[in-house]
Structure 1
């Protein structure tokens, strides 16, 4: 069977099949729904008709009761006019009063027979009544019957129309002769014939599709009626459906023939040209007769054959050049510290060398990262609709394709058929993925904070090779080379970051070290000068720290230093800089803070350290040991206490000596102007100028100012 025949048959099946099935389903559904709605409407109409007839009987009884009361309690004249009183109520068109012997005593209007008595027994006779009547018995005061009153209303077309308006359907009063109906004469006869053959609450359809329900005479409903509801129109609908199916069939046959012919002819020509290209004839061309997708395919084929030779030569030369430059690329990657930039270069070069359409590099996130110990994408190229975004590409170890490669530590290549991919990794047809690990060196610091060197660093993955070919062993070898370069790059960046961190931070307390203090102090002074701001410096020294080391050992001293550093971090702002100057000496830089703010912070730190209890790492013979320490603080502010950063730092150090001399566990503010003494660093003896204190005990009104008394030499440690 040719492709043209298959396309024609498939198009006809796709188009005509649903049309036929839909037409049959619509016809059946419409018929069922029409019958069900008609049945429900007639059932509701039956209840409404009986209610309406019952209401008419109630009105007639009311009119008869009015006449009976007038006759029974009135004079002779009033008795003669009793029937007229009943008619004047408007509830009956005729009233007749008779005595016990049946003699008419009073009447108004005509009551032609036969009658349909509201208190009838429900006979099924089809003799049409002329009048609907209600009878009321008259009694005297002793309760003896003295006659009866009959009130009636004619059962004519107006009465039937009233019933039909109330019920919302057509009503026919059945009769052996011509029925009275709201329908036309012909329709009424057909409804009557159908109803007379029915029993109970059946619903039947007439020949023209009108649904009929019989309402037989019952107690207090003496009329024999038939209810009918509208024409369903099913036959017309069936005719329309058949016409639609026939028309759709004709259109489908013509469209299928045209579609098959216009599609298969260019494909046959394209297949012939492809065979020639497969045989090595790159001059093969196909005629392009349209601008649709098939025409675009032909144009693309012609352009492909024209450019294929140039691409083959260019790709061969490019691959040779890339493989020759791998060594140079490795040297370049090893000398930079921009991790994302390095990984981008590695990925782009790997894609060019292997002919991959897209790729991604994933690294294992640190335990303190957002996705700890998961593969997180760091750079990608050509993914487009293969993944939502780079930030969404993350895979747990052992999950999906990339997670399995990372967990096993072995490279893989092939097709994704039968492989369950993770929801967050890119979609592809073919793949090649290579894990890469760090170098063999390791540090204790890395063991605590991140993936250990020598263990998994990440995965380099490429997808869908150009030309729809699978990746081969040569591509695997190339990708392993690039994975090695990626591992070296990651190791170099991590080592650089760790070295940079260690060069600027104190390894014991994690605070900034003295080198970073000098750089930061110079920078903050320049900033304060430029924006005309204050810069406060707090010089802090733990009191009698040497006694802690001598009594409990250096491990206890280290524990105290760590606890003190943590307490400082809790008290200062994020913009403040806490540094360890050396030993038990610490410095805090407070940008945009004046003397008052610095004094408040110094007071708060003194109190916090005073309340701090440090549990020693080595318990004593009686159990764990908690010790307390205090701190002395010197405060200096730029530019009041110095024109340079070093001068402000020296002023804060002098104020710290004042705090030590005044009894420790306090803070003091440096003196302003020539009163401030200078000393050499190192903790030795210095000159001690004696300044007389102010009347209130503080110099120049500073609440925490420097003492004016002579200062003793500062201890080199633990002072």
Structure 2
């Protein structure tokens, strides 16, 4: 306990000293004045009593001084060592309490200035962090823009469709830090989503595609992640991979699907807003999940792919036969080489049809060139209108060459049947004569019955020779017996 804190230290000491001296002196004079008989032991006892009282009083006075001073000292030591300016709690009314108030005022000013410095430092730190963040974002955007620019520059070096798609995906895989990516294009008539290109850093995930039965992905409208992307025309993040409830599984790909841990699916939009397909960015490496920040670059990649697709269409249009409007045969041959290589790579079906107009040379000999060109133009238009968007046709003399990706022999025969039906409905008038035309066709298909896609044109021509030798106006599939070949009239 702290006594005497309501008076000054000087008064405390003086009053204590006077009390220690005055009390025994007063008692001594009282005994003498009253002439009381007091023995020596009594004097000795009184002396011990006065000494004890003086000792206790001195101790209380000393504690009233040293204890508050000790509190002040601890606060000063804490300030010097830890730079912590905690206020001194003192409730007295002496010189020590005055010292504590002055020290608290100094500490308060220090804390105020320290808080100001801390706030300014925090503001500077926040500004620096914000600046670094903006700088990092700008550097990242610059790197992504540089990546897109480099791809665009390389796209100008070739018109090869597959080469350009591979260039885009290779750069996207490297820039985004993902395991692989694939481009899937949609067929508006059949709603089939087919693989156009696949690239990745883990080649082991891709090399076995030629060994797999990799059919077209037949998706119903708005089915699966790709269906949602096509429906909403917006990218989707699926960081649960194949476990995402929106993920559409296919039994043919179950082993590969189980390796999909995260997925970003983005739409490929044409210049008119039409959805041409989707790009799947699979398994981000670092960080292991896709973020919203990845979407702008994915959309830029989709824009580049759309540019390649539309340029590919423009390329076809620029190199078309003037009479029929079909692709020139040299361009057709280049596309055939690309599609045959792709069909082998992805184990997808491919068919080639060579369609020959029966006895067309006789019509040429009996009529004028303008009339012949009109027949060729009308038949070419019928062929083009019957083909799917992914098919390609060209004309050489009286023969039409059809390239049918993702079509087996049965599909090719069905399509040729539709073309023959359109041709046989046509009637051409010349000098009061009516000409009706029939056609023969040979079909070569990969992988059945032709195991080598590069030989499809050769096999289709051999099948056409067989169809003509058997009487014309029929379709023959290469390697099938004439009796078993379907006759279409």
Instruction: Using structure 1 for the length normalisation, give the TM-score.
Output: 0.26
Structure with the greater relative contact order (CA < 8 A, sep ≥ 6): 1 or 2?
2
The structure with the greater share of residues assigned to helix is 2
Instruction: Using structure 2 for the length normalisation, give the TM-score.
Output: 0.37
